[in-house]
Amino acid sequence: MAKLPASVPELVARFGPHAQREPPGGWTTRGEPDRIVKTHCCFCGQQCGIQLKVKDEKVVGFEPWEDFPFNRGKLCPKGVKRYLQDAHPDRLLSPLERVEGGGFRPLAWEAALDRTAREIRRIQEAHGPDAFAILTGASLTNEKAYLMGKLARVAVRTANIDYNGRLCMVSAGAASKKVFGVDRSANPWSDIPKAEALLIAGANVAECAPITTDYVWQAREAGARIIVLDPRLTPIARTVDLFIPVRPGGDIGVFNAMLHVMIERGWIDRRFLAEHTTGWDAVEETVRRYTPEVGARIAGVPASLIVKAAEIWGPARTSFLLHARGIEHHTKGVENCLAALNLVLATGRIGREGCGYAMITGQGNGQGAREQGQKCDQLPGSRDVENPEHRRHVAEVWGVPEASIPHKGLSAVPLVEAIHDGKIKGLLLICFNPMVSLPDQAFIREALERLEYFVAIDFFLSETARYADVVLPGSLMEEDEGTTTNVEGRVIHHRQAVAPPAGAREDWRIVCDLAARLGAGDKFAYRSTREIFDELRVASRGGVSDYFGITWERIDAEHGVFWPCPSLDHPGTPRLYEGARFGHPDGRAHLQAVDWRPAAEEPDAEYPIILTTGRVVAQYLSGTQTRRIGGLVDQTPQPYCELHPRLAGKLGVSDGDFVSVESRRGTTVVRALVTTTIRPDTVFVPYHWPVERAANNCTIRAIDPVSNIPEFKICAVRVRKVERPHDAIARLAPEAGGVV
Q: What is the pLDDT of residue 726?
A: 57
Whether residue 427 is contained in a domain is answered as yes
DSSP state of 167: G
The pLDDT tens digits of the residues spanning 169-226 come to 899 999 999 999 999 999 999 999 999 999 999 999 999 999 999 999 999 999 999 9
472 Cβ neighbours under 8 A, 6+ residues apart: 95, 112, 113, 116, 455, 456, 457, 458, 505, 510
Residues 450 and 536 in one domain: yes
Residues 122 and 213 in one domain: no
509, 529 Cβ separation under 8 angstroms: no
Q: What is the pLDDT of residue 618?
A: 96
Q: Which of 58, 85, 112 is the last residue of a domain?
A: 85
Whether residue 543 is contained in a domain is answered as yes
Residues 44 and 110 in one domain: no
Q: Tell me the CATH number at 637.
A: 2.40.40.20
Whether residue 404 is contained in a domain is answered as no
The pLDDT tens digits of the residues spanning 419-455 come to 999 999 999 999 999 999 999 999 999 999 999 999 9
DSSP state of 281: H
Residues 433 and 511 in one domain: yes
Strands of 141-216 (E only): list them: 161-163, 197-201
730 — pLDDT class (breaks 50, 70, 90): very low
The rounded distance, in Å, linking the Cα atoms of 523 and 506 is 18
Whether residue 548 is contained in a domain is answered as yes
Whether residue 590 is contained in a domain is answered as no
Q: Tell me the CATH number at 196.
A: 3.40.228.10
Q: What is the pLDDT of residue 600?
A: 98
Q: Which of 562, 588, 619 is the last residue of a domain?
A: 562
Residues 42 and 153 in one domain: no
Residues 105 and 79 in one domain: no
* Residues forming a β-bridge with 690: none
- Domain carrying residue 621: 609-736
Residues 183 and 221 in one domain: yes
Residues 73 and 115 in one domain: no
Q: 3-state SS of 629-650?
A: EHHHHHHCCCCEEEECHHHHHH
Q: What is the pLDDT of residue 4?
A: 29
Q: Tell me the CATH number at 513.
A: 3.40.50.740
22 — pLDDT class (breaks 50, 70, 90): low
Q: Which of 527, 562, 597 is the last residue of a domain?
A: 562
Whether residue 521 is contained in a domain is answered as yes
pLDDT (average), residues 632-658: 97
Q: Tell me the CATH number at 45.
A: 3.30.200.210
Q: What is the tally of structural domains in the chain?
A: 4
- State how beta strands 197-201 and 161-163 pair: unpaired
Residues 175 and 144 in one domain: no
Whether residue 401 is contained in a domain is answered as no
**Helix H or strand E encompassing 458:** strand 453-458
Q: What is the pLDDT of residue 1?
A: 25
Residues 666 and 712 in one domain: yes
pTM of the model: 0.94
What would the DSSP string read from start to end of 369-427? Answer: GGTTT-STTEETTTEETT-HHHHHHHHHHHTS-GGGS------HHHHHHHHHTTS--EE
Residues 329 and 219 in one domain: yes
The pLDDT tens digits of the residues spanning 348-405 come to 999 999 999 999 988 899 999 999 999 999 999 999 999 999 999 999 999 999 999 9
The rounded distance, in Å, linking the Cα atoms of 99 and 173 is 42
Whether residue 405 is contained in a domain is answered as no
Residues 39 and 181 in one domain: no
